[in-house]
């Protein structure tokens, strides 16, 4: 019994430190309480929540790039999330966005963006548009973002959302992301937001010399590893394994290009 109580205390402390709600709280009376907290929120209220998210979930866990932090504080994550889950927008957890897909937790978005080490003159390729949130964050930092989504409805929704919110340097394509975007290559950096069985060769070819790719890849232990792939000036590839992650699988091989 004492052991169970100790575990409960540890979990509670974790939730407080990282502003995180366990998935068990999505149901029952607690979810009603949290929903009520968000009724009638203004954009100023959401801005405060974003600032709190950055300080407590992202800076506290080691992300330091000022450009990334400013972008995360600027982009309204709640507008990239279905209304029924909007009250959880600024908790550090992935959320469903429909069609079997999710929006990544804020910390992972910030971490992967920092790993790319991009600048304002860079042109970026994203594989897996999803809701468009990751592309929106990148668009605040770089010159242009080219993003590919294989699920047509999801891609079209993201494109409309990005345009309506004024992210005019983001370009969406409905296609098989594992093939990249050859007529816009090479790219200064590539980010993949779905887990591949292996690093797709077309993406390596479309990465500029001196560029980086951040990609989750299936590991041999039924998990996934987040990899940083670098191409030096001579074209040689180096791969660094960073942290274990959990992403939806990368869908390949569909003839959906539009």
* Residues annotated catalytic, as ranges: 104
Angle of CA points 118, 122, 127, to nearest 5°:
80
Residue 247's closest CA among 82, 57, 109? 109
Structure tokens at 73: 């504080």
- For residue 157, what are the contacts with CB-CB under 8 A and spacing of at least 6? 131
Going from the C-alpha of 92 to that of each of 6, 20, 39, 61, 186, the distances in angstroms are 23, 5, 20, 11, 33
DSSP per-residue letters across 178-219: GG--GGG--EEEEEE-SBBSS--HHHHHHEEEEEEEEEEEE-
CA pair distance 47, 54, nearest whole angstrom:
11
CA pair distance 49, 53, nearest whole angstrom:
6
Q: Hey, is 244 helix, strand or coil?
A: strand
Residue owning tokens 């098989």 = 176
CA pair distance 76, 101, nearest whole angstrom:
19
Structure tokens at 207: 């990465």
Q: Hey, is 233 helix, strand or coil?
A: coil
H runs (alpha helix) in 61-124: 66-74, 106-116
């Amino acid at each position: 019994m004492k052991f169970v109580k100790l575990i409960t205390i540890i979990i509670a402390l974790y939730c407080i430190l990282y502003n995180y709600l366990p998935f068990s709280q999505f149901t029952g009376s607690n979810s009603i309480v949290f929903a009520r907290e968000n009724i009638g929120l203004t954009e100023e209220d959401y801005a405060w929540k974003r600032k709190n998210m950055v300080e407590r979930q992202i800076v506290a866990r080691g992300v330091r790039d000022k450009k990334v932090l400013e972008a995360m504080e600027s982009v309204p994550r709640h507008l990239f999330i279905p209304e029924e889950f909007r009250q959880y927008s600024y908790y550090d957890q992935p959320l469903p966005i429909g069609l079997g897909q999710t929006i990544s937790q804020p910390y992972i978005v910030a971490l992967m963006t920092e790993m790319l080490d991009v600048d304002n003159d860079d042109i970026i390729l994203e594989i897996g548009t999803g809701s468009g949130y990751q592309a929106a964050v990148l668009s605040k930092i770089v010159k242009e973002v080219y993003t590919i989504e294989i699920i047509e409805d999801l891609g079209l929704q993201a494109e409309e959302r990005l345009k309506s919110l004024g992210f005019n340097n983001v370009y969406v394509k409905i296609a098989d992301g594992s093939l990249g975007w050859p007529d816009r290559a090479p790219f200064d950096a590539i980010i993949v937001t779905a887990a591949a069985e292996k690093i797709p060769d077309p993406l390596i070819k479309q990465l500029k010399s001196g560029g980086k790719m951040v990609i989750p890849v299936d590991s041999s232990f039924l998990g996934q590893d987040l990899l940083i792939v670098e191409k030096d000036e001579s074209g040689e590839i180096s791969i660094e394994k960073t942290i274990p992650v959990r992403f939806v699988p990368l869908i390949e091989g569909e003839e959906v290009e539009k």
